[in-house]
Structure 1
Amino acid sequence: MGQRDTLFRHLAILQMLPRAPHKLSTSTVQMRLEEQGYTMTLRSIQRDLEKLAEHFPLECHKECKPYRWNYVANYTSDLPAMDTVTALTLVLAEETVRSLLPKVAIDKIGYKFESARKHLEGMHENGFSQWSQRVRAIPNGKSLIPAEIQPAVWEGLTDALLNHHAVNVEYLSRLKGELKTYTLHPLGLVTRDSSSYLLASVNSHDDVRQFALHRFRSVSASASLYRAQPDFNVQHYIDQGAFGFPLSQEPVKFIARVITSVAWLLAETPLSHDQSLSEPDADGWVQLTATVPNDQQTQWWIMGFGSGIDVLEPASWREHILQQAREVISRSDDYESPSCDV
C-alpha cells in the first residue's frame, strides 16, 4: 500500500474519532474503514492508532477488548482549516439550533461556533467583522427555552446509542410524578421543538417508547445484553405519527377555505406534496385541498391561524374546532368585568 493510501486512511481515522467522554472501538473503526474501501486487520488498525497517538492527543482505553479510542476532551483542532463560507454557515446555524438543542449539546460543539465567529471577526477588509449585525435566524412560532439536561445524562445516553449498549436509568414519570428504574435499549434520538427524546425499548419489551432527556436523573452502563432492532428506522417511526399525537394511522383528505395571506404561505411552503389551491372566489377565499396526517399536531397548526382557515373536511375536525371556539366564547360570557364607580 502506497504512502498516498496510508495518508488518506490516517485522515479517515482521525476524522471519525470522537472527543472524550465518547469512545470508538477498533472494531468499529475497522467497520467504518471497510465502508470507505479500506480492508485492514484489527492489529493493523491498532498500529495505525498507536502511530497517530504519537502526533495527536489521542487516548486509548484498554480496560476491555477491543480497545477504545478518542481525542482528549479539550482538543479543538479541525481538519481542514475553516473557510469564510463555512464560517458564515456555522454562525447562521448557531442562531438556528441554539433555541432547539439542549445546552449540553451546544456546549459540545461550541468551539466550532467560536472558531467561526473569530474567523469572521478578523476579516475587517470585507466587512465580515460585523457579521452579528447581518445574520439572524427567527423561529416559525413561539420558541420555548430548551429543557435543562444533565451533562452526564447526555453523555451516557448518546454513548449508549452510538455504541449499541444497554443502560440502567432512573427516570421521572410525568404521568405519575414518580422516579422509575428501567433498563433501556436505545434506538434513536429526536429533538422536537425545545425538548429532546430518546427512543428505546424497555427491559424485555420490543415496543418503542419515548423518554424526555430532561426527565432522566441517572444513567449507567447495564450488564444486560443490548437488544438490537436492525429494522428500526427513526424516520419511519416519525412518519407513522409518533410525535404528532396520532388520531389514526391513516392520513385524511383536508379541505378548507383559507384567506389570501395563508394561501400565499402555503403556495411557497406547501402543506403536502399533493396540495392544490384554487383561484380566490368573489370574497377572496381560496380553497385548499391536501392529504395530511390525522393527528393533533396538524389540528393545532390549523387552529393557530384562527379565523384565517375555515375547515370543511374532515367533518370531525370542523366540529372539534367549532367546539373549542364555543368553549372560549363560553368562558368569555362567564367572565364578569369588575364594576367601577363613576
Structure 2
Amino acid sequence: MDTLFRYIAMLQLIPRAPQYKATTTLQTLLEEKGFTVNLRSIQRDLERISGHYPLICDQSERPYRWSFDPNFKSTLPAMDTATALTLVLAEEYLKGLLPQIAVDKLSPQFHDARKFLDGLRENGFADWARQVRAIPNGKALLPAAIAPPVWQGISDALLQRQAIEVHYLSRQKKEVKQFTLHPQGLVVRHSVSYLLATVNDYEDIRQFALHRIQQLAPSEAPFRPHPTFSVENYIADGAFGYPLDRQQVQLVARIDPSVAWTLAETPVSEQQQLSDPDEDGWVTLTATVPNDQQTQWWLMGFGARVEVLEPMEWRKAIAEQANNMLAMYSREECQLTGG
C-alpha cells in the first residue's frame, strides 16, 4: 500500500513538458511528504509507471529528468459536477484577464471539465458548458500576446529567484534595449502583465510589460533580492492605481435610481450608505473610498447619472473634464457643419 501511495505522490510531482524534474529533486520532494526512498528505487518506479502513463525521460544529462507528455489529459482526481461548472466559469473569466499563454497552462483542466459535462447527457448537464459566460465589468481589451518562452522564463525566474537577460522594446524611445533584470514580482493589470524588477545594479523597482520582452535568457549575474519590497505595498503606494494620496475620502454624490439599484446590490465600499429617494427618485450616496483617479474615472463613466458633491476637489476635476470634452465636441461640430 505504501508503494501505491508513493506512486500517486510521484505522479503529482511530475510536471508537463517542457518542464522537468530530476530524480534527485523528486527524491527531496518525496522525503518532504514522508517517503524514504533511494534514487535507484525512484528510477525503477518511474520506469514502471511510464508503462501506464505518458512519461518522458530526458537522458541527455544525469540525473535523468522526467515530465509528462504535454498533451496528457489527467483524470486524477475524479471530476464532480460543481467543480466542472466552476472550471468552465473560470475559463470564461480568465480569458479576458490573463494572457492566453497563462490560460493555456490550465487547458487540460478546462478540457476535462467540458468533457465531464458533455458526458452527462442523461442528466441534462451536457449543454452547461455552452450556457455559461462571464461578462467583464466595462470594456475589456484583448490581453496582450506574450511569447510562450517569455512566460515560462519569467515564471521560472520568479520562483527560482534568478536574474535574467532580456531584450526589451522601450515604449518611450521605441527601440530595443538590453537589461539584466532581477525579478521581484508579477502583476496582471487589465490586459497587460507586468514584471516588477530591479535593473542591473539599481535598487528602484521598474515595470516591464511582458509582451514587449523580445528575448529572455538566464543571467550569469547573481540574483539581487530586494529585502524591503512588497507587491502589496507597491500597489498601495499607487504604482498602478494613480492615487492622489494614501488617505481615504468620503464620497458624497447624487445618483439616479438605476445607479442606486446597482450600488444597493454591489456596494462601492463596505462603508456605504444610501438615502431614501428624493421627489425625483434620486438617492444620496455616502461612502468611504480610496482617494485615487481610478475611482474618479469610475464615477465619470456614469456620465450625467451621477453628480459628485464631495470631495470638492473631485467635483471640480470632473467638471473641468466635462467642460473640456464639451468644448472639444462643440469645436469639432462647428468644423463638420462649416459653422
Q: TM-score, normalised by structure 2?
A: 0.86
SS at match of 1:146: coil
CA distance in 1, matches of 2:27, 2:233: 29
SS at match of 1:298: helix
Instruction: Give 2:99's aligned amino acid.
Output: P
Aligned to 1:73: 70
Instruction: Give 1:126's aligned amino acid.
Output: N
Q: 1:259 to 1:59 in 2, by over 3 A?
A: farther
The offset of 1:330, in angstroms, is 0.6
Aligned to 1:195: 192
Instruction: Give 2:68's aligned amino acid.
Output: Y
Aligned to 2:11: 14
Structure 1 range deviating more: 143-152 or 276-285: 276-285
Aligned to 2:43: 50
1:277 matched to 2:274: yes
Aligned to 2:107: 110
Q: 1:191 to 1:28 in 2, by over 3 A?
A: farther
The offset of 1:122, in angstroms, is 2.2
Q: Give matches, 1:157-306, under 5 Å.
A: 157-229=154-226, 232-306=229-303
Q: Which runs of 5+ in 1 are unaligned?
A: none
CA distance in 1, matches of 2:60, 2:46: 14
1:22–1:159 Cα contact (<8 Å) kept: no
Aligned to 1:153: 150
1:293-313 CA-partner distances (Å, limit 9, x unpaired): 222211111111111221122
1:186-236 CA-partner distances (Å, limit 9, x unpaired): 222222222211122222223322211111111100111112345544334
1:128-163 CA-partner distances (Å, limit 9, x unpaired): 222244212111111211111111111111121122
CA distance in 2, matches of 1:273, 1:9: 48
Aligned to 2:33: 38
2:6–2:35 Cα contact (<8 Å) kept: no
2:20–2:66 Cα contact (<8 Å) kept: yes
Q: 1:330 to 1:46 in 2, by over 3 A?
A: farther
1:281-326 CA-partner distances (Å, limit 9, x unpaired): 3333322222222222111111111112211222221111101110
Aligned to 1:314: 311
SS at match of 2:122: coil
The alignment covers a number of residue pairs equal to: 332
CA distance in 2, matches of 1:323, 1:116: 51
Q: 1:22 to 1:317 in 2, by over 3 A?
A: farther
2:163–2:218 Cα contact (<8 Å) kept: yes
Q: 1:216 to 1:295 in 2, by over 3 A?
A: same
Q: 1:31 to 1:291 in 2, by over 3 A?
A: farther
Q: 1:131 to 1:156 in 2, by over 3 A?
A: same
Q: Which runs of 5+ in 2 are unaligned?
A: none
CA distance in 2, matches of 1:229, 1:64: 34
1:324 matched to 2:321: yes
Instruction: Give 1:227's aligned amino acid.
Output: R
2:182–2:223 Cα contact (<8 Å) kept: yes
CA distance in 1, matches of 2:79, 2:270: 37
1:98 matched to 2:91: no
1:94–1:113 Cα contact (<8 Å) kept: yes
Q: 1:259 to 1:24 in 2, by over 3 A?
A: farther
Q: 1:261 to 1:74 in 2, by over 3 A?
A: same
CA distance in 2, matches of 1:139, 1:169: 33
Q: 1:58 to 1:339 in 2, by over 3 A?
A: closer
Q: 1:32 to 1:312 in 2, by over 3 A?
A: farther
1:70-129 CA-partner distances (Å, limit 9, x unpaired): 434333324212222222221121111112221222222223222222221222211222
CA distance in 2, matches of 1:268, 1:180: 49
2:96–2:140 Cα contact (<8 Å) kept: yes
The offset of 1:29, in angstroms, is 6.0
Structure 1 range deviating more: 12-21 or 215-224: 12-21
1:170–1:216 Cα contact (<8 Å) kept: yes
SS at match of 1:254: strand
The offset of 1:27, in angstroms, is 7.9
The offset of 1:338, in angstroms, is 4.7
Identity of aligned residues (%): 52
